[in-house]
Amino acid sequence: MGPHIFLLFVGLTISLGDAALQPAPCDKSRKVFTEGWGVITDGPFGSNYTQDSHCEWLIKANNTHKYITLSFQSMGTECSYDYVFVYDGDSFSAPLLGSFSGKTDPQNITASSGSMLILLYSDTNYVLDGFRAEYSVTSCPGNCTHQSQGMCVVNTCVCEGDWGGKDCARRLCPEDCGATLGRGSCHLGHCRCSPGYSGQSCSLHRMDPSGNR
């Protein structure tokens, strides 16, 4: 009997330890993050955010030349009533980067001011499981897509090959312009389509009624 009681006790201790590591639900508070990477969530996994919430998270880089990228891992709020607002700065007077509601994960969001303010607002009615997001602080937008598609030079991405955009995440010649199928070719970062083809990736043929992709 003795060994069985001991094992049960150990299991209970581990369970309580894991629960202690879970973040507490936000409740009309502001949390400040200064590390280079972190996780932001409205509360413990599997629980709903509270009614009448007004929770703030402020991410501050060590200088104003840094970029902060927010990547949503999950999203669930009462659609059109409860919102997550993201600002490019440390106050609500800063530019609004986006307002999000519902169950669709937003695309990555990047602040360029060295600060990012996140607000969760909910009314007094229905609540869901909230959101979870990771943030990272880098010297260039998106770290030039993890530095595999460009280089960061003085806070600016210098893209390589046929990659473009502020974070080198956009292909300048999508699908290689269908070169292997004879639809077109990539020329100076743009698709040059063969006769009869058009579109950003030369994927639309004049005899095809389905439209461009």
The phi and psi torsions of 163 (rounded to 5 degrees) equal -95, 145
106 or 24, higher pLDDT: 106
Give the pLDDT score at 29.
81
Query: So what's the pLDDT on residue 18?
Result: 42
Within the chain, what is the greatest distance between any pair of CA atoms?
84
**pLDDT-wise least confident of 15-29, 125-139, 150-164:** 15-29
What pLDDT band is residue 145 in, cutting at 50, 70 and 90? confident
Average pLDDT over residues 46-67: 90
SS3 assignment for the chain: CHHHHHHHHHHHHHHHHHHHHCCCCCCCCEEEECCCEEEEECCCCCCCCCCCCEEEEEEECCCCCCEEEEEEEEEECCCCCCEEEEECCCCCCCCEEEEECCCCCCCCEEECCCEEEEEEECCCCCCCCEEEEEEEEECCCCHHHHCCCEEEECCEEEECCCEECCCCCEECCHHHHHHHHCCEEEECCEEEECCCEECCCCCEECCCCCCCC
User: What is the CATH code for 173-205?
Assistant: 2.10.25
Q: Say yes or no to pLDDT of 66 above 60.
A: yes
CATH of 23-138, one of 2.60.120.290, 3.40.50.2300, 3.40.50.720, 2.40.420.20: 2.60.120.290
Query: Does the pLDDT value for residue 209 go beyond 70?
Result: no
